[in-house]
Amino acid sequence: MTQPIRPGEIAVKVPEAGDACLRFIGRLRTPWQRREDCPRQGDPAGPECRIEVFAPWEQALMGLEAPSQLQVLYWLDQSRRDLLVQRPKSGDRLFGTFALRSPVRPNPIGSAVVAVIGIEGAVLRVRGLDCVDGTPLLDLKPARTPGLTDHPANPSQ
Amino acid sequence: MTQPIRPGEIAVKVPEAGDACLRFIGRLRTPWQRREDCPRQGDPAGPECRIEVFAPWEQALMGLEAPSQLQVLYWLDQSRRDLLVQRPKSGDRLFGTFALRSPVRPNPIGSAVVAVIGIEGAVLRVRGLDCVDGTPLLDLKPARTPGLTDHPANPSQ
């Protein structure tokens, strides 16, 4: 489960992660079974994927429509969490973790904007994911609609 | 800490959140001391805010530059987590939680894209946040750069 580190990469001993906890609310179904098969980033014209929402959260889909754009947050559960500096596979430069969108990060939360092409009960058909099949779902939100501050996606609370 | 619910809103009894846990890696400093003072959404021309990164994570800022655009993930620690259906303050329509960007969600993770205007050690000066002063930081990533698939922000892993 823990990947080896590459030359120049810097790992630290990190404290227990116990400041807040998450519950998985669904699962992402994609064509990619292994990390190394995943595309470099999601493609809005890429293959159809599915977002399966667990009970009782399907009721929280009320008001979502297809077509639309949705921001998806998910948990990169195969990632180590202790690297400060990383060397991307594609080059020999080193970057701080926060200068990369690598899945290896202190809190391995992925974020993608997907095109919703259909909604069937608790399952959303989407394009634009880039993660491993079975990745746990954390959240769904309407993608930002710049300028539309009165849009219901951006309510005052 | 728990907000009252509004007419028509639907809460559920949710299981313990223990599927994965987070560590806070910094703190967001904004001009807003109370939820009700926060703007409806971040404004790239809004007031200057600060992102304070805790040790040892400042080394993970290596390679970040100003000006640039950064995606910020943070923990909305004042939010209840059990609403399926919500009624935004600004109207009398009901929406599923996933059809809103409300801070009330099963995993209350906020996501904003900010303009980085300066970096001084472990502190980033930014514009575009919309959350309460002191909000815990979870992650920083380069904002997506559509089309630039060879950009180091989007490495293959």
- How close is the nearest chain A Cα to the Cα of B131, in Å? 12
Domain residue limits at A23: 18-142
In a domain, B148, yes or no: no
Give the H or E element holding residue B132: none
In a domain, B33, yes or no: yes
pLDDT (mean) for A115-121: 97
pLDDT surpasses 60 at B157: no
pLDDT surpasses 90 at B41: no
Percentage of residues in chain A having pLDDT higher than 90:
78
Reduced to 3 states, what is the DSSP secondary structure of residue A60? helix
- B41: chain A residues, CB-CB within 8 Å: 144, 149, 154
Determine the Cα–Cα distance for residues B95 and B88; give it in Å rounded to an integer. 8
Domain with residue B119: its CATH number is 2.40.30.70
Inter-chain contact B100–A18, Cβ cutoff 8 Å? no
Q: Mean pLDDT, chain A, as a whole number?
A: 90
pLDDT surpasses 50 at B155: no
- How close is the nearest chain A Cα to the Cα of B74, in Å? 10
Structure letter (DSSP) for residue B6: P
pLDDT-derived band at B91, boundaries 50, 70, 90: confident
| The pLDDT of residue B156 | 40
| The pLDDT of residue A2 | 65
Token pair of B128, please? 């575009």
In a domain, A151, yes or no: no
- Tokens 């559509």 correspond to what residue? B146
CB–CB contacts below 8 A, A to B:
243
B106: phi > 0 → left, psi -120 to 50 → alpha, else beta; which? alpha
Sign of CA dihedral A145, A151, A157, B2: negative
Determine the Cα–Cα distance for residues B3 and B16; give it in Å rounded to an integer. 19
| The pLDDT of residue A144 | 81
| The pLDDT of residue B2 | 65
pLDDT surpasses 50 at B11: yes
In a domain, B10, yes or no: no
In a domain, B3, yes or no: no
Which position has the higher pLDDT, B151 or A6? A6
How many domains does one find in chain B?
A: 1
Per-residue model confidence as pLDDT tens digits over A32-80: 999 999 998 899 999 999 999 999 999 999 999 999 999 999 999 999 9
- B157: chain A residues, CB-CB within 8 Å: 35-36, 88-89, 102-104
pLDDT surpasses 80 at B137: yes
In a domain, B54, yes or no: yes
- A71: chain B residues, CB-CB within 8 Å: 111
In a domain, A154, yes or no: no
CB nearest A64 (choices: B90, B99, B150) = B99
| The pLDDT of residue A151 | 44
Q: Mean pLDDT, chain B, as a whole number?
A: 90
pLDDT-derived band at A149, boundaries 50, 70, 90: very low
In a domain, B8, yes or no: no
pLDDT (mean) for A114-131: 97
